[in-house]
Each structure stands twice: as C-alpha cells, then as structure tokens.
Amino acid sequence: MTGQTKPSKAKALDRGTEIKEQIIGWGTGLLVLGGLATAAFGESHENVTVSHAYSNFGTVVYEDPDFAHLNYVNPNAPKGGYISVSSQSNFDSFNPFTRKGVAEFTGVSLMLEDILTTTADDPYGLYCYLCTTMEYPESKDWVIFNLREDITFHDGTPMTAEDLEFGFNLILEQGIAEYRNVVSGYIDSVELLGPFRIKYNFTETAPRRDVIGFAGSTNAFSKKWFEETGVRLDESQPEPFMGTGPYVLGEVDMGRSVTYVRHEDWWGADHPLNAGRWNFDEIGVEVFADSSAAMEGFKAGEYTFRNENSSKEWATSYDFPAVEDGYVKVEELPNGSIGSAQGFVFNLRREKWQDVRVRDAVNMMLNFEWANDTLFFGLYERPVSFWQNTDLQARGTPSEDELEVLQPLVDQGLLPESILTDEAVGAFVNDVDQNIPNRRMRRAAVKLLEEAGWVAGDDGLVRNAAGETLETVILQTSPSFDRIINPYVENLRSVGIDARLERVDTAQYIERRRAADWDIVNHTLTQGYEPGSSLRQWFDSSTAEDSSRNIMALQNPAVDALLDVAIAAETLEEVTIAANALDRVLRAERFWIPQWFKDVHTIAYWDQYRYPDELPPLALGTLDFWWFDADAAQALKDAGAL
C-alpha cells in the first residue's frame, strides 16, 4: 500500500465515483447500477410479498408464522429471582442516543423494542415483532408494517403507527449527525396508512438488501411522553425514555448502581418470540472503579454473574473459597460468533501516522506471542481479520472472483498491483521467550522509521527533520491493561519511539475519544455476518470527521468503492466475495494493530442460575434466556454463602 492514507475527502469521493462507473461490465454483477436500479424501482404493478419474516438469502429458520417458541430457549423456564452484573462506567445519563454524558447501556435492550427482531440461531433472518406482517414489492421501494394492536408503553398507553412516525421525525431533528445522514439516505418518507399500519418509502439510492432491516430497526418512542416531558434526544437524560420493553427502571444510585424491574403488565409476555425469555424479576448493574475492585466485589457476592475478560484473572483468581465449596460455578461455554476484531487503532488525522511505514514499525513492536504465553496463560488467539473465523475473512491470495473486484481499483491506481498477488496481511510474529522483539524485527522497524524520515539521535529517540520526537501516547482507562501496555511501551522505546501510557478516568477517556485527542486507543471493529450499509460508519471517507465508529478517520477511495460493492451485493456468494476483497484491502492499510480474542465464553456465577442444554451459536443470552433456580438460591442462603 502507499504511505498516504488520507487524500482529500473530495478527491476520495470523486475517485470512488469513477470506479463505480468503470465496473459496469463486471461479470460478477456485484454492483447494482444507478440507471438500471432506477428503472427497476420505477416499475408498477409489482408482486407484493406479505410475510412474518424476511431474509436476503433464502428461507428463515422459523418459516412457520405460528411457531410456539425459539428452538434454543426453555419455554418452561420459571420467572423470578435476581441477577446482577458489573460495570466500570460511572454513568450519568440514560440516553444512549447522544454523545453528551456517559450513558448506561444495559437498559436499552431491556426497555426499548424495534419493529423487527433477530434470533440467536439465524444470522440472516428478520422477524415481525411489533408487527404481525410486513408487505414489500420486488423492487423493495417501500415496506409496510402491519402493527400489532395490543402493544402498550410502560404507562399503559397504546403504541400506534403515529408513535413510530414521531420517532422517525425525532431522529431526523435531534439524532446524532452521522446517523441522521444515514437515515435520510435510506428513507425518503414515512406514511401513516392507519392507526396500526405504517409505510416506509425508500430513496432510489438506498441499497435494497438493507432497506427492510433498516426500517425494521426503528425504535418505538412514545410521542405522548416526549411531548409531555419536553425531553430531547440530543441531551443527556437522568431517566430512560418511555419504552415498550420487558423491563422498567427500578432503583438508581447515579453512577454507582441501577436495577431494572420486570414490567408486570408487559404486553409481550405471551408473544412466541418471548417464550422462555426475560425470566428474571430484577436485573442489577453494579459500578466499580476498576477491574480489581470488581473481582473482589464478585467474590463478596455484591453482584452474581461475571463474564471474565481478563486471562490473568481467569487463570489465577478463581480459586477462592466460594468456588472450592461449589457455591460459584466457573465454566467455559462455546462462542460461535465472529472472532472479536479487538485492537489498537491509529489517529490518522495526525500527520505522523500518515506513513504506513511508521504504522508498521509501531505495529511490529507488539509482541503477542510473548504476551499470550507470559501474561495471558496461552488462552488467546490473535485476530487478523474483521470477520475472523468466517467465510467472509480474506485468506491467502485473492480468488478469481476477488480479482474481478480488485483489478479495476488497481487499473485506476488506487491499489498497488501487489494486492492481486500477495497473501492477505496478517499479524507480525515475534518470539515467545522474551518481550523485546528479536534483532531482526527491531532492525526492520528501525529501517522503516529511517526510510520515513525518523532518525535516531544521541538520546536514542528518533526525530523527524523538524527535530520532533515520534511521540506515541497510548490512551487507556482500565488499570488491567497496564501489564500489557507497559511492556509494549518498553518495546516501542527500544527502537527510539517516544512512547508512554496515559491512563485517565472513564469520563475523560470518552471525551478525548470524541474530540480525537489521542494517538492510539483501543477499538473493536468486529463486523456482522451480512455486511451492509453500516460499513460506511466504520470505514467510509464521508464519516472520517464525525463518527463513533470510524474513529481512526480512515479516508481511502479504494475502500469507498469496495464499500459500494459490498453494500450492493445481492446474493450470499456476492456478499462473501465483496467482504473478502474489502477485508483484504482494509488489512493492507494497517491502521489497526490486532490484539487478541478467544472463541469461548469464560464465565463465573453464583450457583443459582440455569441455562438451556444447548446454547445457540450467536449469543450467551445471560440476561435473555437464562433463569433463576429458587431452590439453589435458597441452598446458598442456608449455607450462609449469599
């Protein structure tokens, strides 16, 4: 790849348009062309599909609209009891739709609901939830949702199509700019066809594979509640929005703890999609200052379920008396989700990170092999892809189908010819027996820095022609990362990079990330099984200056063109080819330093919870389809354990 990653935005978009025009003749048919798409969308008298479910790729798992319950739940799971989890986010707001304040996120899925829903055993299916059926033409110019008439908000008022229309307009008026732009790019207008019937009309340019799911992701907001309270979507809020979900807000100690209580008159209690789900009477969130305090809190029973994300804690901390006595269960459960693309990312707004050689030199100094053996107890693998362990991951050299996608970008000079013949970019491999990378790796890093104009001085630090050191500040909020980042800082300094760790509190961390006031931060860029329009928020040039996902500010015309291809792909085969090509090019940009992931859930819980015999591949479902064992809980109390 070239050293320059940030062409001007106008140039990037213009070049992307050129590419789209050039690939009209592609045999794979991956891109729906504007003229043809408009003609097709303009046809009238189309056949209209009426269904309870939708999938872009064939049949859904639950074809029968009268299914009794999801395959993976226990439909007879008892209701009752309490479960609590920990958080290190000292929240000061219940509004996750704004960047103002620090929101408490657990309650979003518990209190707000969407028109359509997904299941944990069907990666491509969308199912009517707040609706009974949906109607759409072959062109997917529009979709009509026929809403259920028994849905009520938490205050008992009915939910109607007017509430959904209100929510749509509220997003356009007060939503985050990056999301408002997406909404207006997809939905041209919303029509009320009756009290429980609403139509979403899509723009001609909206990708047809995404439109139904996009409209179906509309939250149910109460028009009455918003108008009476005067609450705004773009302001920090001390209370949640009025919702229709299974839980309501209970006790709150702002920034320290919150409890959500199962709504006694919840409209959805008897819905087939909810059988065996939302079983706990109360769900608690306890806030701790750091991971060590959280671990001690779990041991003391201050909260009751822990999803362990520290290999050190997993390997060394679960031998306390409650485990030995059988009061706490410690388990590894299968995780069939896409491997987490967790890593460090560079702030590409800063000139020093514009040269890929500099980024590579910094990347080389992270010794995963030593860290995994010494710090992680061999529990992790290293991700190399944004679609790790799936068919969407780029592997080896490009396939013939990939070459058809990549060749026009090479012909335009947007990608080097090497992308057509090289292996997909992986991770730099270091020695396992010592933290400091070996001489060969260090020499390679120093050479790259020198070629990029960073030369070592008498004090051992590299400087550019202006005499500036290559300052590299790794911004972090969790003390548990110190044992990982400090050795990395040592490695960076060994090749003359002026590196240091700067640890700040959660509020500062969030604000500095939003303000782009950082060099390197953690970011998880894992993508979905059906990559579509959300890719733009992650990687498109147009989102570089204002995005909660493209925080690295990636601007690359080749990536922009590949995003168009991926979004326009219609079949699963086309989606796979486009994702392979996109993954290959994104990895070749090296804006991401991959960290680590594991393909199991490592959990511990006080022995009063149960789960189905066979978990679905796409969710652990602790708050969703686990349940409380009252007899086991009583046994813990009788033993004085809790």
CATH code for position 410: 3.10.105.10
pLDDT at 35 over 70: no
Residues 348, 378, single domain; the answer is: yes
Provide the token pair at 9.
Answer: 């935005």
**Domain-located, residue 4:** no
CA distance 303 to 323: 15
**Domain-located, residue 249:** no
CA distance 510 to 514: 6
Residues 604, 467, single domain; the answer is: no
| pLDDT for the residue numbered 546 | 80
**Domain-located, residue 242:** no
Provide the token pair at 343.
Answer: 């890593």
pLDDT in tens, 549-582: 999 999 999 999 999 999 999 999 999 999 999 9
Angle between helices 400-411 and 9-22 (to 10 degrees): 130
Kindly indicate the confidence band of residue 282, based on its pLDDT and cuts at 50, 70 and 90: very high
Of 173, 203, 229, the one marking the end of a domain is 229
Cα separation values, 473 from 139, 377, 470, 488, 535, Å: 50, 27, 10, 12, 28
CA distance 460 to 498: 10
> Among 173-177, 517-521, 611-615, where is mean pLDDT lowest?
173-177
pLDDT at 19 over 60: no
Kindly indicate the confidence band of residue 176, based on its pLDDT and cuts at 50, 70 and 90: confident
pLDDT at 597 over 50: yes
Provide the token pair at 418.
Answer: 């090497």
Number of domains in the chain: 3
Kindly indicate the confidence band of residue 478, based on its pLDDT and cuts at 50, 70 and 90: confident
* AA letter at 192: L
Kindly indicate the confidence band of residue 533, based on its pLDDT and cuts at 50, 70 and 90: confident
Residues 435, 547, single domain; the answer is: yes
Residues 494, 573, single domain; the answer is: yes
Residues 458, 586, single domain; the answer is: yes
3-state DSSP assignment of residue 131: strand
Kindly indicate the confidence band of residue 13, based on its pLDDT and cuts at 50, 70 and 90: very low
| pLDDT for the residue numbered 547 | 81
Average pLDDT over residues 72-82: 98
Nearby residues of 384 by Cβ (< 8 Å), 6 or more positions away = 393, 424, 425, 426, 427, 587, 594
Residues 575, 550, single domain; the answer is: yes
3-state DSSP assignment of residue 456: strand
| pLDDT for the residue numbered 508 | 92
The more confident residue out of 6 and 344 is: 344
Full-model pTM: 0.83
pLDDT at 632 over 50: yes
| pLDDT for the residue numbered 245 | 98
CA distance 69 to 484: 45
**Domain-located, residue 528:** yes
Average pLDDT over residues 540-547: 89
| pLDDT for the residue numbered 272 | 97
How confident is the prediction for the chain on average, in pLDDT? 91
**Domain-located, residue 265:** no
pLDDT at 112 over 80: yes
| pLDDT for the residue numbered 89 | 84
Nearby residues of 293 by Cβ (< 8 Å), 6 or more positions away = none
Residues 449, 564, single domain; the answer is: yes
Residues 113, 192, single domain; the answer is: yes
The more confident residue out of 532 and 193 is: 193
pLDDT at 33 over 90: no
Kindly indicate the confidence band of residue 90, based on its pLDDT and cuts at 50, 70 and 90: confident
Kindly indicate the confidence band of residue 277, based on its pLDDT and cuts at 50, 70 and 90: very high
Average pLDDT over residues 79-99: 93
Residue for token digits 């003609």? 39
- Give the structural domain span for 137: 50-229
Kindly indicate the confidence band of residue 507, based on its pLDDT and cuts at 50, 70 and 90: confident
The CATH number assigned to the domain holding 81 equals 3.40.190.10
Average pLDDT over residues 266-276: 98
**Domain-located, residue 243:** no
Residues 517, 540, single domain; the answer is: yes
Residues 376, 507, single domain; the answer is: yes
**Domain-located, residue 38:** no
Average pLDDT over residues 348-373: 97
Kindly state the percentage of the chain with pLDDT values over 90: 83
Kindly indicate the confidence band of residue 15, based on its pLDDT and cuts at 50, 70 and 90: very low
**Domain-located, residue 487:** yes
Question: What helix, strand, coil percent values describe the chain, rounded to 5?
Answer: 35, 20, 45
Average pLDDT over residues 355-368: 97
* AA letter at 391: D
**Ordered alpha helix ranges (H), 240-397:** 291-299, 311-316, 321-324, 356-364, 368-374
Strands (E), 455-566: 455-456, 462-463, 471-476, 498-503, 520-524
pLDDT in tens, 117-149: 999 999 999 999 999 999 999 999 999 999 999
pLDDT at 94 over 60: yes
| pLDDT for the residue numbered 177 | 82
Kindly indicate the confidence band of residue 16, based on its pLDDT and cuts at 50, 70 and 90: very low
Residues 417, 327, single domain; the answer is: no
Residues 168, 135, single domain; the answer is: yes
